[in-house]
Amino acid sequence: MTVNPINQQLLQNIPGNPYIYKSVDTVIDQNEVVNYPTEFLNSLEFPGLPPLQLQLKVGVLIMLLRNLDQPKLCNGTRLIIKALQPHVIEAQIQTGCGKGEDTFIPRISLITSEMTFQFRRLQFP
């Protein structure tokens, strides 16, 4: 993808240490766990699925890629990060009807069926 190197370069130009969030990847069918180890699941990248590692910094502009709480938190909503916690991101909404409001973005479970099996990725949207 072309956007990932650009995002990395821009993130390096912003002062502060990055907070790295790693996803939790699991196979839906527990009988398939031995066939699809975690390392394999971690290597998978699909359009619309968050990355394995998400690097963020306070003050960075982010865009939501899922509908969480319509109409305020929809796909495409832009936010500025105010605080980074282990299980939640505190951010201020920059666009739409919730502009100026603070909100919390949780990790969500996303399931893909792009392969011959289904797996779940727990990550920020």
Q: Sign of the C-alpha dihedral, residues 1, 107, 62, 64?
A: positive
pTM equals: 0.81
DSSP state of 97: T
10-residue averages of pLDDT along the chain (125 residues) = 77 88 89 88 81 90 90 93 95 94 93 82 87
Q: CA nearest 125: which of 56, 42, 41, 63?
A: 63
Q: Exposed, middle or buried: residue 15 (CB in 10 Å: 0-12, 13-18, 19+)?
A: exposed
The pLDDT assigned to 1 comes to 53
Of 115, 121, 96, 105, nearest to 56 by C-alpha is 105
pLDDT at 56: 92
